[in-house]
Structure 1
Amino acid sequence: MSLTLDTPPGVLGHAASSAGGSTQPLLGSRVRAGFPSPADDHLDTDIDLHAHVVKRPAATFFVRAEGDSMRGDGIHHGDLLVVDRSLEPCPGRVVIIALDGELTVKRLERVGQRYYLVAANPSFRPIPLEGREAQVWGVVTYVVHALPGAPA
């Protein structure tokens, strides 16, 4: 198996920040996903979402997910993935990888001395990397998707 880091040809473009940036208000308190509590009704600061999800702009690109093999990890068809090429493709991380020349997104796992690409959907079997050409394009750091029923 050849596991190398390749430079992608700008899948959806690099993550260069726009001059001046664009910030949106950030609520000063967190929102509970469990039992609701009274919320603070004030804005604490502004947040630049790009600056929040892109830590290394020169090494970051965006790509859209296709299919449902990673839905268990919260990655759905059409989601926007933030990918960092500077991160080590360690076992346990979700990676964008060219496998035998075809791009896929899967979790990299190691069992003993063997590496596998593992889907987050039980309908898909692990893919052994042994004997295959595999070039890691980067590590997925964030996923952006709309919720069901959200206006387009």
Structure 2
Amino acid sequence: MPSSLYQTITAPLAGSPPILAPLFSHKVPAGFPSPADDYIEGRLSLDQHLIQHKDATFFVRAKGNSMVGAGIFDGDLLVVDRSLNPSSGDIVIAVLDAELTVKRLIRRDGMVILKPENPDFSEIVLKEGQELQVWGVVTSTTKKFI
């Protein structure tokens, strides 16, 4: 795994005011078009919606396609919470032998496994003497289409 697996790591600015954008009450169908409601339900702050523990949250941009089965694609911005205790099945940002990676953490039969969500990639089963640090649990991902 190259150390350039992630391009940027940033944390939210402490004390920064939330950005409130309109939240429409009408859901947009992904199938056939439907007339939209003409009113706003309220205002939504994405930082308040996506970040539970502001001081323990950072962002990292994914690079590569080992997690496409989990909906994480190259260039996606991952929201990572350092305050959460990683459980088996969580998607985590981990450092294995000084290399960053994003994988699903699996604990099974006394083993620790970093599982990709793409059949083209192999599971990483931790071996005796390997060092694993979990930097945080991925709580959400955002995509930019343009």
Give the structure-2-normalised TM-score. 0.86
CA distance in 1, matches of 2:53, 2:122: 33
Deviation, 1:31, is 2.7
Is 1:29 the counterpart of 2:26? The answer is yes
* Equivalent residue for 2:111, pick from 110, 114, 119: 114
> Structure 1 residues 43-52 or 19-28, which shifts more?
19-28
The 5 A counterparts of 1:28-47 are 28-34=25-31, 37-47=34-44
Name 1:101's counterpart in structure 2.
98
Q: Which deviates the most, 23-32 or 104-113?
A: 23-32
Q: Which runs of 5+ in 1 are unaligned?
A: 1-10
Task: Report the AA paired with residue 74 of structure 2.
Answer: H
- TM-score (norm. length: structure 1): 0.83
CA-to-aligned-CA distance 1:60-93 (integer Å, 9 cap, x gap): 0011111110011111111111000011110110
Aligned residues: 138
What residue in structure 2 maps to residue 135 of structure 1? 133
Q: Please, what is the CA RMSD of the aligned residues?
A: 1.7
CA contact (8 A) 1:15 1:54 kept: no
Are residue 78 (structure 1) and residue 75 (structure 2) matched? yes
Report sequence identity in percent: 47
Letter of the 2:141 partner, please give it. Answer: V
Instruction: Determine the structure 2 residue equivalent to 1:6.
Output: none
Q: Which runs of 5+ in 2 are unaligned?
A: 1-7
Letter in 2 for 1:138: G
Contact conserved, 1:17 with 1:50, CA < 8 A, in 2?
no
Q: Are the aligned partners of 2:24 and 2:42 in contact in 1 as well (CA < 8 Å)? A: yes
